[in-house]
Amino acid sequence: MTDMPVGERRQLAPPVDDSGVLGWIRRNLFSSWANGLTTIVLVLAMGWVLSWFLEWAVFTANFTASTGAECRGQGACWALIREKYRYIFFGSFPYEQHWRPLFAVIAMLAMLILSADRRMWNWRLIVIWGVGSFVTFLLMFGQLHLPLSLVLFIAMVVGASGMSLRKGIGSPTEILAYRVAAAVGLVGLVLRIVGVLPGWSLAIAPLPYVETGLWGGIPVTIILATYGLAFAFPYGILLALGRRSNLPLIKGLCVGFIELIRGVPLISLLIMASVMLPLFLPSGVTFDKFLRAQVAVILFAGAYIAEIIRGGLQSLPKGQFEAADAMGLNYVQKTGLIILPQALRVVIPPLINTFIGFFKDTSLVLIIGIFDFLNTANQALVDPNWAGFPGEVYLFAAFVYFIFCYSMSRYSKYLEYELNKGTRR
């Protein structure tokens, strides 16, 4: 630099125009010769692949054939999807009743979309899930029996959590109401178990009963993922709190459980649920196959959720815990009113990612013979009339999975952005 004689300036070319379409292309695709070469090779490769794909999937494809034989020797056989889409979506659910799983799916999607709205993150969430689940299962089963023990159990849980959460906050009548609910629930449940109370149940039966063995397709996938996560959530929270606790035995139990579950593949838990669970129960008590798979998914999901929530708990500054202690709140109040609301806020985006993961991973239940969406798609290939078009069916299934997962992952990105607004400078 210093060698350059003073006063003698080299004439530099004017800077390359990088505005406009041409400029954009020059800047982003041909900024150097290597870059330009890459672009040309990529364009050629893409053109080749795309033209081949379009030829197969659109121009020579058959959309109207009535048997597989008519489709053969041409491009994609989308007529197969046209023929089988109802089976792929709803499995062996009675054909003329297909509107039921359809509306059940809509109900569950509405439930999920509503719970994704931040304005709903309060008591409304409980109402949404209560109503949504009731509608979903009423449609799927056709008939529901609400046993007395379930009502008593809910009363006990609501009463007990109200008692500890509202202690010193709620009015005396409110506290009394919680105490009564808890006591009635507990006593009733004990009486029921001992056998004093008979097994009353409330039957709601507007539609013909459809057993879980006939469920299939997209509702099964959504139910397994949604309720897998919904039930795993409270116990994941307990595991996370246990892992962060100062009590050595509790901590040991939780760490052991979490690491055990996270260390083994989901398949091993599913195999366990399908062949071992019957051995764990007293003879004569059996679980529905579907419920068994659901239990395995819940067990599995809990450990993963616990780790995510632990991340949220760790992100809270110590001052929050100390402030809650200073205010004289008990452990339940401190956790339920101060810590968890803040911790859960942080972990919602990773939770959605976990949900996406489970939405995909529930496809493993096909190994123990449950007809989720991937399995019904697979079964559509079995029909010998239509055999030999795996590409079409799997691409279709992949497309449906993609729509679900991609929209959820976009939402989680958006939410992450929204939630970080406050802390971003």
Partner 1 sequence: MAVQAVGSTGRVRVAPWNDPVIRGWVFQIVVVGLVGLLAWYLVSNTMENLQRQKIASGFHYLEREAGFEIGDTMIAYSPASTYARAIFVGLLNTLKVAVIGIILSTILGTLIGVGRLSSNWLLARICEWYVEAFRNVPLLLWLFLFYKLISEAFPGPRQAISMLWNTVFLSNRGLYFPVPMTDPIHAWMGLALLIGIAGAWVLHRWARKRQDATGQPFPSILAGFGVALGLPLLVWLLGGAPHHMSWPELKGFNFDGGTVIQPEFTALLVGLVLYTSAFVAEIVRSGILALHKGQSEAAAALGLSRGQSMRLVLLPQALRVIVPPMTSQYLNITKNSSLAIAIGYPDLVASINVTINQTGQAIENVLLIMAAYLSVSLSISAFMNWYNKRIALRER
Partner 2 sequence: MRKASMAVAAGLAAIFSSTGAMAGKDLDAIKARGSLICGVPTGVAGFALADSQGKWVGLDVDVCRAVSAVIFGDSEKVKYVPLTAQQRFTALQSGEVDMLSNNTTETLTRDTALGFDFGAVTYYDGQGFMVNKKLGVKSAKELNGATVCVQPGTTTELNLADYFRGNKMSFKPVVIEKVEEVRAAFFSGRCDVYTNDSSALYSTRAANVPPPAKPEDFIVLPEIISKEPLAPVVRHGDNQFADIVRWTQYAMIEAEEYGITQKSVDEMLKSENPVIKRILGVTPGMGKALGVDEKWVYNVIKQVGNYGESFDRNVGSGSILKIDRGLNNLWTKGGLQYAPPIR
User: How far apart (Å, rounded) are the C-alpha atoms in residues 125 and 127?
Assistant: 5
User: How far apart (Å, rounded) are the C-alpha atoms in residues 219 and 222?
Assistant: 5
Nearer to partner 2, 21 or 382 (CB): 382
Q: Is 324 in the site for partner 1 (CB under 8 A)?
A: no
User: How far apart (Å, rounded) are the C-alpha atoms in residues 190 and 337?
Assistant: 30
Q: Say whether 177 sits in a helix, a strand or coil.
A: helix
Nearer to partner 2, 271 or 415 (CB): 271
**Which of 120, 184, 207, 250 is the binder for partner 1 (CB under 8 A)?**
250
Helix (H) or strand (E) holding 219: helix 218-244
Rg (CA), the chain: 29
Please give the structure tokens belonging to residue 241: 């709190």
Bridge partners (DSSP) of residue 62 are 77
Bridge partners (DSSP) of residue 144 are 204
Q: Is 276 in the site for partner 1 (CB under 8 A)?
A: yes
Is residue 238 packed enough to be buried (19+ CB in 10 Å), middle (13-18) or exposed (0-12)? middle
The binder of 39, among partner 2, partner 1, none, by C-beta within 5 to 8 A per type, is: partner 1
The answer to whether the CB of 164 falls within 8 A of the CB of 108 is no
The binder of 354, among partner 2, partner 1, none, by C-beta within 5 to 8 A per type, is: none
The binder of 47, among partner 2, partner 1, none, by C-beta within 5 to 8 A per type, is: none
User: How far apart (Å, rounded) are the C-alpha atoms in residues 383 and 381?
Assistant: 6
User: How far apart (Å, rounded) are the C-alpha atoms in residues 34 and 106?
Assistant: 51
The answer to whether the CB of 374 falls within 8 A of the CB of 363 is yes
Nearer to partner 2, 36 or 278 (CB): 278
**Which of 17, 22, 43, 150 is the binder for partner 1 (CB under 8 A)?**
43
Binding mask 385-404 for partner 1 (x = CB under 8 A): ---x-xx--xx-xx--xx-x
The answer to whether the CB of 386 falls within 8 A of the CB of 84 is yes
* Contact set with partner 2 (CB under 8 A): 68-69, 72, 92, 94-95, 145, 147, 149-150, 153, 189, 192-195, 199, 201, 211, 213, 274-275, 278-279, 281-289, 291, 367-369, 378-379, 381-382, 384-385, 387-388
The answer to whether the CB of 298 falls within 8 A of the CB of 228 is yes
The binder of 356, among partner 2, partner 1, none, by C-beta within 5 to 8 A per type, is: partner 1
**Which of 44, 69, 260, 291 is the binder for partner 1 (CB under 8 A)?**
260
Q: Is 46 in the site for partner 1 (CB under 8 A)?
A: yes
Nearer to partner 2, 172 or 284 (CB): 284
The distance of closest approach from Cβ of residue 67 to partner 2 in the complex, given in angstroms and rounded to an integer, is 8
Question: Using CB under 8 A as the criterion, which residues of the chain lie in contact with partner 1 when the complex forms?
Answer: 28-29, 31, 35, 38-39, 42-43, 46, 246-250, 253, 260, 262-268, 271-272, 275-276, 278-283, 356, 360-361, 363-364, 366-367, 374, 378, 388, 390-391, 394-395, 397-398, 401-402, 404-406, 409
